[in-house]
Amino acid sequence: MQNNKFERLIKRGIISRKVFDEIIEESKISGKYIEELLIEKSIPKHEILFCLSEYYGYPFVEYDESVMASYFLTMRLDMERLKKALWFPLSLRQDKTEVIAYAPDDPSVVADIKKTLGVERINFIIALPHDLIRIIEHNFDVNLEFPASAGRTPLAKGRTFLAERRSMFACYRTSFAKGRTGLAFLRTGISFMTIALVLLRVFGIGYLTIFEAALLIAGIVMTFDGLKWYMPSRKTGKKHLDCSPTEPTWGTTVLEVSNPGNNPLFKRTDAVEGAEKLRDDWSNLSPVMRRRFLASDRTDLAEERTILACYRTIMARARTGLSFTRTGVALTGLGIAFLRQFHAGPWTVFDASLILAGILMAMEGFHWYIPGRGAGIKGFESVRKTENSKSIWDFVFPPFHKPGVDKDINSCLPVQASHSPGIWATTGLALERTVLADRRNVMARLRTVMARSRTGMAFIRTGMSISAVGMGLMVYFGTANIAWTLFNAVLILAGIILVADGLYWHIPAEKTRRQFPYCFGDMEISIPDYGKPARFWSKVVFSHDNF
């Protein structure tokens, strides 16, 4: 049968009988299609297609981006299955379909088409295996050899899930900020109650009692109000946050999402064969192929922003915990001062209760410090690692972005007469969106560094609070009692360590802040209007005085 298919090549002297027989044997041994081996022997592709068309009596088609089927037809089909079966439907009308196939005379192929599409009549079009696979991949919106998850629609779905996760992290951070505000109320309330109780214990009941009672009541109200704000954030803080990143590879692997719902899972495919070589040939890619890579880039950038948002959320939780720790330290110091200042009596139980409550609060808050510190370290490492890696500019504009790169900047773009301006305009907009996404990531990295700085300042405030309690007790009560002196010294030393740790976090962040223009001066932002060229976009200017 194979001889009959390509008899035309032998009759016309394009290939000898001997060479053709060798190709037949090589096909049996290697498993390659005869058509592929013929092309490797420099047989013109159109001659092979003429042979197949003449043999089967059907027209032929080559791969072209204009060969498209309805999206509603392709969404019902499995890309990998079609690539193995080597057939693809172009249209479907009632009981009739038009199908591109490699082997239209194969009974199993015919039966598969009729069963899958539910038709009786089939109009075949012939295509070579490689062309047919590319037609299938193009209709499923993926580049050569990429899985179906690399299509722009699945990638957009993944970005939507990532955006939802970032919104969730933003809600968590808002809850933690509300909790810290509540703790500020609580500390103010404790201060009011402390003043009232000290006055009562020093002066007893007298003309100040009304003032003391008012302070005490105000303190109790503010304390309970602060706790009411803090408790929801405490509940939020118990939720597990997974900040595990995958390794972005600029389109050579694909970020896939599974288990869609409240807890989607993200994983990355293995490296796609030939993807890196395809990406390196950017100047010669068609507009559609470029848009697919850019869609993958935007998904990778969205993942990085999500991971950084996760790190910032954990650091915000740590700052809330340290705020609680400072409240506990203040209570403990107050209880110890009362206990040492006044003789044992009815108030001793109250003093001990203050100490115990303060210790529990300090332990509760400090429990959030360790994960927050880990998130700060990982977030800063992620930012530094990203800054030293390639960016979208290196791939799209290598000769201009990095001087000395050996690239053919005069390479002819793959423009065809059939291409309308809209094809390239759409690709330009995709590039614009990707570049804007890269800018958002730069700002996200800066926000992560600044969140680390704020967390470092929280360390400093907590350390100063602990040291202040130790110093205050030592100065007021002296060093006569060795045990209490050692306790005070431990408090001072622990506070100094926390202050040093905070400075270690804060100083590099301040250095980074000065390198970026987003934190001072005026900032001008273009408002995109994709119906107009970028030079006609309106701009909005934000002045530092407006904030």
DSSP for 490-507, please give it: HHHHHHHHHHHHHHHHHH
Ranges 39-53, 146-160, 344-358: which has the least confidence: 344-358
**2 pLDDT band (50/70/90 cuts)?**
low
Answer with the residue of higher pLDDT: 219 or 518: 219
Least confident of 138-147, 376-385, 403-412, 525-534: 403-412
Average pLDDT for residues 91-117, to the nearest whole number? 90
What average pLDDT does this structure show over 520-542? 64
Give, for 242, the enclosing helix (H) or strand (E). Answer: none
Please state the length of the chain: 547
Reading the block at residue 394, the tokens are 């290196």
Q: Which of 272-286, 289-303, 396-410 has the largest mean confidence?
A: 289-303
- Which amino acid is residue 189, in one-letter code? G
Tokens of 456: 């470092």
What does the pLDDT look like over 422-460, one tens digit per residue?
A: 555 677 778 888 888 888 888 888 888 888 888 888 888
If pLDDT is split at 50, 70 and 90, which confidence band does 311 have? very high
Beta strands 523-527; 265-268: pairing state? unpaired
What is the SS3 assignment for 44?
coil
In the Cβ-directed half-sphere of 273, how many Cα atoms lie within 13 Å? 1
Query: For strand 538-542 and strand 523-527, is the pairing parallel, antiparallel, or unpaired?
Result: antiparallel
Q: What percent of the chain has pLDDT over 70?
A: 87
What integer pLDDT is reported at residue 198 of this predicted model?
79
Please answer whether residues 388 and 324 qualify as being in contact, where contact means their C-beta atoms are separated by less than 8 angstroms.
no
Q: Does residue 399 have a pLDDT over 70?
A: no
pLDDT confidence tier of residue 401, bands split at 50, 70 and 90: very low
- Averaged over 530-544, what is the pLDDT? 65
Interval 397-415 mean pLDDT: 48
Mean pLDDT of the chain: 82
Place of tokens 């010669």: 284
Mean pLDDT of 244-269: 82
Model pLDDT for residues 355-365, shown as the tens digit of each residue: 888 888 888 87
pLDDT over 80 (residue 491):
yes
Taking 90 as the threshold, does the pLDDT of residue 256 lie above it?
A: no
pLDDT of residue 521: 47
With residue 541 as reference, give the H or E element that holds it: strand 538-542
Max CA pair span of the chain: 124
Query: pLDDT at residue 403 above 50?
Result: no
State how far the alpha carbon of 407 is from the alpha carbons of 135, 211, 393, 398, in Å: 30, 81, 14, 7
State both tokens at 78: 């499995």
Pairwise CA distance, residues 444 & 259, whole Å = 27
Among 133-142, 412-421, 433-442, 486-495, which is the least confidently predicted range? Answer: 412-421
pLDDT at 513: 67
Long-range contacts of 150-155 (CB under 8 A, 24+ apart): 150/254, 150/272, 150/292, 150/296, 151/292, 152/291, 152/292, 152/295, 154/256, 154/257, 155/254, 155/255, 155/295, 155/296, 155/298, 155/299
| Distances from the Cα of 49 to the Cα of 88, 126, 287, angstroms | 18, 8, 27
Q: What band does 309 get if pLDDT is binned at 50, 70 and 90? A: very high
